[in-house]
Chain A
Amino acid sequence: MSLLAPIKDHHSERQLFLGRVLLTSVISALLLGLVVARLFQLQVVEHELFAEKSQGNRVRIEAVPPIRGLIFDRKGRAIAENLPAYQLEMIPEQVEDIDDTLERLATIGLIDAADIPRFKELGRSGPRFQPVTLKVRLTEDEIANFAVQRPRFPGVDFQPRLVRHYPDGPVVAHAVGYVGALSSDDLKRVEPARYAGTSHTGKTGVEITFESDLHGFAGYRHLITNARGRRIPSDSSELLDSLPVDQVPSPGANVFLSLDLDLQRIAAKSLEGRRGAVVAIDPWTGEILALVSAPSFDPNLFALGMTSQQYGELQGDPDRPLFNRAVRGAYPPGSTIKPMLALAALETGATNLSRRSFCRGFFRLPNSTHRYRDWKPEGHGSMNLHDAITQSCDVYFYEISGDVGINNMHDYLNRFGLGHKAGIDIGGEHAGLVPSTEWKRSAFRNRDDQRWYDGETVIASIGQGYMLATPLQLAGAAAALATRGVRYRPHLVAAVEDGMSGQRRMVDPQRLPDVEIRERDHWDAVLEGMHDVMQGARGTARAVGMGAPYQMAGKSGTAQVISIAQDDEYDEEEIDERQRDHALFLAFAPFDEPRIAVAVIVENGSSGSSVAAPIAKAVMDQYLGYGEKVAQ
């Protein structure tokens, strides 16, 4: 082994090693030189900067909430905007005794004592440096009052903030919804970084469905604070230059609705003092032109924050102003379903265009003494399908109901969108109900209740009994009649405009399965009947439609709220207001080229043709350009 090993040359090896020591020494010197240069930079060049930083000052990062996107109507008028206001805030980490501070604030009347537990909870659940909003809009007096007392409340201060404002308030409340203070539950739901510094979030309507578009992204900026956490004016400070660049928040997207504010106003005005709803749709796109529920409430109360008492009053109001009747209210549709039922009868052969029957004012099932009464006690006389629609003869439909059968009724009404959610882009929809034999089997426990009775088919034919529909569904049905079966998903949002780039994302109309009717004649007959309801010599709503500058179609409905005993007469005067019939109306116009379909319901309005129909006409007039100029 040692013989084969090459002979070591000690001299040259030593020279090699010394060379390497020299090389590594140079590298070492360079490395240490790098550190020395760095130290020189920190301790000499930037010394003043770091000296200032260490002077008991602290750099704090403050979240900058994004500006919430605006909401516009179809003509570009603001429905939801942001207004500057001073709000009272508390930063939990800077408050020594939160309980005591809140109680003292309540004593001087700045906050409501009943809200103290909520503020405590918010102060505990969020990050301790994040401000808790105590009051959204301070009056000038409150600002002046608090300014004097501020030294007594370390950690509490007023800050300029943008507050959501709905200029038309109650008129748009049920469609647009509102924002409210972020609750501790909301905080669990949202992505914390996006909501840093944010005090409000969408709670209902478009405000919550499009929350992720409207909200935007929070940014942040650096603040220099002294040891007590108070902010020091930063304009003089060079310190900020050395910090990472502030992140500008990205504003939320603007949302453009298909709503027409003029229609909203006229519908709201027409419903004033009543309980009810109006929904108007562009039948060829599904765009909602108006969606009003009455009575309404002021959504600004939620954005500003109200006292527990105010909220209690809204909740406890027997007229239920917070209840969105337009999408949530389920009513017996009454005679408004007759055009659809007529189509079902024609298609299934239960009747034909020439069949006539004689109305004596009531109908009896074979082997039964029970009288199913017409709304007109003396009867309509000889009726064909056209007349039965125009004059809303109940007996005609009673007679054919058995031949159509409840399951065919269910099938056809379903195609028109009744009995299932319409899929509008705000929440809370009621699915309504269209009964069938199968439905009854699954809905009831008791064997006897599970059976379907012939009499139930009879009353179903005039939209009574189990049947329920929402104003939104009825408007959809009116639209499907207007288009002769072409249907679109109803939606409120037409476009979303990026807050930064201004790029618009259009919401395309979403087509739904058509209502297929084999015979064109059937459409002609039914729609002609609806036309004559309003503009025929004997139409139930001729008083509303006569003399109008355009052609229209409609169908009235009057739905019983209570059942009348066999021998009793329905007497409006004697019956308690809350037990009067609901008034309903469907309409579309212009008759030949429909551009708008409307459904109106007035709770306990007594008469569809005289109470609900004028409201539908007023909305259509406005949209088609025949309305009066509505004052704001």
Chain B
Amino acid sequence: MRRLQVDGPLLGGLLLICGFGLFVLYSAVGESNRLLVNQIIRLSVAFIGMLLVAQMSPDFLRRWTPWGYAAGLILLVLVLTKGEVGQGARRWLDLGIRFQPSEAMKLGVPMMAAWFLHHRQMPPRFSQLLVIAALIIVPTILIARQPDLGTAILIAASGIIVMVLAGMSVRLILGMGVLAIPGALLLWTFMQDYQKQRVLTLLDPDSDPLGAGYNIIQSKIAIGSGGLFGKGWTNGSQAHLEFLPERDTDFIFAVLGEEFGLLGVLTLLTLYMFVIGRGLYIAAQAHDTYSRLLAGSISLTFLVYVFVNTAMVTGLIPVVGVPLPLVSFGGTSMVTLMAGFGILMAIHAHRKLLPH
């Protein structure tokens, strides 16, 4: 394990999450073996990717960071001009292999922010923060234009987390909170009609109970009817009678809540918390600015993932199309997530090799 540069606790936590997730997914996809195997293959690929990334050294990653970031920006522009259109959005690029450049930027943005701060004295000066803000805003806007609001929010969050971890003053953080109001208005102008509808629906979900509010109402029914212990695996009536939309992707948390109850939901959240805690521990152990900021950002962005998805499924925030990490069906974001955990492992493995 040590030689493979793998962090045991982190790997264990991730395997438990994925294993539990597969159980829930099997029920959510209607007990289809084919789709289950499909997901297992994706998970395997993602784990192998994680192990490969874990072999790299943080110094190597840091040196290549600006090039990777620049390449990512170019690809994002290409997506907007030449990307493939699917379901009203341009997200995919076909350069021999089909992929979403926005996924790569989920790591590219925090890496770039950490790279920029690496040689500088902490806490960063205001002018330096402005540069980082620009590094965040450009890809965020490009992705919001695709449009992919969920990813844009995650990317912006990952960059902002770097700034906060770097020691940006509390006054500034509060100031940004105030600035968030005009920012939100700006965001509103970028939103598509369906996205605006989602926000309005959250503010008053019962205004349109058969239309836009349907998802939230049904997912609340699913979760609430699960009670303490759930209706039992594959016994969720909401999910299986097709009241619950998108039950194998964005709303899989509702299936978990219905079939495994509060107990199952808390179990999964505990596993997530363990993984996030381990990530923050690795960040605290890291010995250079780049590694610290990157490890911290990856861990906390994972938390943002979990929070946004669970909060949206329970009707706390608008529906923004963020999957439940490592559990929702689909492979695109999984690879990025696992690569991030690979970076965490690499940072942890190299902590003693770095100069004090």
Contact = CB atoms under 8 A, between A and B. Distances in A.
Interface string A538-551: 00000000000000
B321 interface: no
A159 interface: no
B220 interface: yes
Contacts of B325: none
Contacts of B283: 17, 21
Interface in A416-436: none
B138 interface: no
B109 interface: no
Contacts of B258: 54
B162 to A, nearest CB: 10
Contact of B121 (A6, A24, A34, A35): A6
Interface string A45-70: 01101110110100101000000000
B285 to A, nearest CB: 10
A16 interface: yes
B314 A39 contact: yes
B265 interface: yes
Nearest to A29: B273
A54 B261 contact: no
Contact of A43 (B257, B269, B311, B315): B257
Contacts of A25: 277, 280
B29 interface: no
Given A16-B167, A20-B164, A34-B316, A47 B269 contact: no
The main secondary structure of chain A at its interface with chain B is helix
Contact of B228 (A16, A20, A43, A61): A43
B122 interface: yes
Nearest to B161: A24
A44 interface: yes
B307 interface: yes
Contacts of B356: 10
Interface stretch (B176-184, B205-213, B329-337): B205-213
Interface string A8-34: 111001001110110111001001101
A244 B206 contact: yes
Contacts, number: 129
B140 interface: no
A255 B121 CA distance: 80
Contact of A50 (B207, B220, B265, B300): B220
A17 B167 contact: yes
Contacts of A54: 221-222, 225, 237-238, 243, 258
Interface in A50-98: 50-51, 53-54, 56, 59, 61
A515 B12 CA distance: 101
Contacts of B225: 47, 50-51, 53-54
Contacts of A56: 237, 241
A10 B284 CA distance: 13
B77 interface: no
A35 B165 contact: no
Given A35-B311, A56-B237, A49 B224 contact: yes
A158 to B, nearest CB: 26
B206 A243 contact: yes
A38 B313 CA distance: 11
Interface size range on B against A: 35 or more
A46 B224 contact: yes
Contacts of A43: 223-224, 226-228, 257, 261-262, 265
A31 B307 CA distance: 7
A31 B272 CA distance: 13
A85 to B, nearest CB: 30
B123 interface: yes
Contacts of A506: none
Given A36-B269, A61-B210, A16 B310 contact: no
Interface in B219-266: 220-228, 237-238, 241, 243, 257-258, 261-262, 265-266
Interface string B308-326: 0011001110000000000
A49 B221 CA distance: 9
A40 interface: yes
A47 to B, nearest CB: 5
A570 B101 CA distance: 100
A23 B170 CA distance: 10
A42 interface: yes
B276 interface: yes
A358 B239 CA distance: 103
Contacts of B139: none
A565 interface: no
Nearest to A13: B122
B223 A20 contact: no
B185 to A, nearest CB: 24
A44 B314 contact: no
Interface of B: 119-123, 161, 164-167, 206-207, 209-210, 220-228, 237-238, 241, 243, 257-258, 261-262, 265-266, 269, 273, 276-277, 280, 283-284, 289, 292, 296, 300, 303, 306-307, 310-311, 314-316, 356
25 contacts: A13-B121, A17-B122, A17-B165, A17-B283, A20-B165, A20-B167, A21-B280, A28-B303, A32-B307, A34-B316, A35-B269, A35-B307, A35-B310, A36-B266, A38-B315, A43-B223, A47-B225, A50-B223, A50-B224, A51-B224, A51-B225, A54-B222, A61-B209, A243-B209, A244-B206
Given A8-B121, A43-B262, A50-B221, 15 more contacts: A24-B165, A31-B311, A32-B269, A32-B306, A39-B223, A39-B257, A39-B266, A40-B262, A42-B314, A43-B226, A43-B227, A51-B227, A56-B237, A243-B206, A244-B206
